[in-house]
Amino acid sequence: MTKRIVSNPAARRDYEVLEVYEAGIELKGAEVKSLRNHRANLKGSFARLKGDEVFISGFQITPYDKSGNYLPDPKRERKLLLHKKEILKLVSKTSERGFTLIPLSLYFKRGMAKVELALCKGKRMYDKRESLKRKTHEIEMKRALRHKDR
């Protein structure tokens, strides 16, 4: 049972996804209630390794309307919860030039907020054009097959 909160469609367009990881996220106060109301934005966010921990930056959770005095910073860095082996693997992979960690989506799984984190490599402009050509070609093929059956 997963319930998608928000996704980052620009990530798959701008980056080539190599590996995908599922990570928990450390939240404070009423941030969970804001997520349940779909009040989050992954656009422009990325993950960073600091020592043996992983943090997500640029991820915004709008404060919950009915919360009291305590309002954490909406754009603060949040710690991601991964297994030690996964973190060590990510450290070795991201040390290579051109690799980065990008969050693809945020969702609830069994009541817990999870982030789908991808190890990515940036696409060049010609790669983006080729992906777009391939996608439009597939759409045209499906359209042609659909009209052929009529």
Q: Tokens for 101? A: 């960690």
> Taking the domains of the chain in order of start, what are their residue ranges?
2-123
Higher pLDDT, 104 or 72: 104
Contact 99, 120 (CB under 8 A): yes
- Of the pLDDT bands very low, low, confident and very high (cuts 50, 70, 90), residue 119 is very high
Beta bridge partners of 56: 47, 78
Q: What is the pLDDT of residues 60-79, one digit of tens each?
A: 888 888 877 777 778 889 99
Residue 53's pLDDT is 93
CATH of 2-123, picked from 3.40.980.10, 2.40.50.180, 3.30.70.20, 2.40.280.10, is: 2.40.280.10
> Rounded CA gap, 44 and 18, in Å?
19
HEC profile of the chain: CEEEEEECHHHHHHEEEEEEEEEEECCCCCHHHHHHCCCEECCCCEEEEECCEEEEECCEECCCCCCCCCCCCCCCCEEEECCHHHHHHHHHHHCCCCEEEEEEEEEEECCEEEEEEEEEEECCHHHHHHHHHHHHHHHHHHHHHHHHCC
Tokens of 100: 């980065």
For the whole model, what pTM was predicted?
0.77
